[in-house]
Amino acid sequence: MSGLKILGDSNSPEAPVPGTVTVTEAGAEGIRRFLKEQGAPAGSALRLGVKGGGCSGFSYVMKPAESSRADDVIIEAFGQRVFIDPKSFVLLQGITLDFKLGLMDAGFKFINPKASKTCGCGESFSL
């Protein structure tokens, strides 16, 4: 995570910084919920990545991970860890991972200022 500033470890709100991946407090709670729903073992993290495809060119990929890989970028925020492979990290720099609860528009929200186009469901983007 060359030059990466880890955000989210304090109670003071901080604006996203270009070149980082920010996880909000609600995003960290969403990670907790996601890992529990997936039956991930205690101490697991979220593996966040990008793959080609989706209606806008790239799709976000999320799955539980028990351990990081040697070249992973590791984000720690509000007691949760996120592992990102270096290729995905290049495409994810500057995003904010948030989570919303409610009857409408519930789930993870990827706030990606570099995205030139996103799909209606928010699960894919193009640069």
- Domain membership of residue 124 (yes or no) is no
- Domain membership of residue 10 (yes or no) is no
pLDDT for position 111: 84
Write the burial class of residue 107 (CB in 10 Å: 0-12 exposed, 13-18 middle, 19+ buried). Answer: middle
Q: What is the domain range of residue 100?
A: 22-118
pLDDT for position 11: 37
* Mean pLDDT for back-to-back runs of 10 residues, the chain (127 residues): 36 52 96 97 96 72 96 96 95 92 82 63 49
- Domain membership of residue 125 (yes or no) is no
- Domain membership of residue 92 (yes or no) is yes
pLDDT for position 53: 67
pLDDT for position 115: 62
- Domain membership of residue 51 (yes or no) is yes
- Domain membership of residue 17 (yes or no) is no
- Domain membership of residue 11 (yes or no) is no
- Domain membership of residue 127 (yes or no) is no
Q: Where are the alpha helices (DSSP H) in the chain?
A: 25-37, 86-92
Q: In what order do the strands lie in the sheet with 58-65?
A: 73-77, 80-84, 45-52, 58-65, 124-126, 117-118
As for how many domains the chain has, the answer is 1
pLDDT for position 104: 73
CATH number of the domain at 80, please.
2.60.300.12
pLDDT for position 116: 56
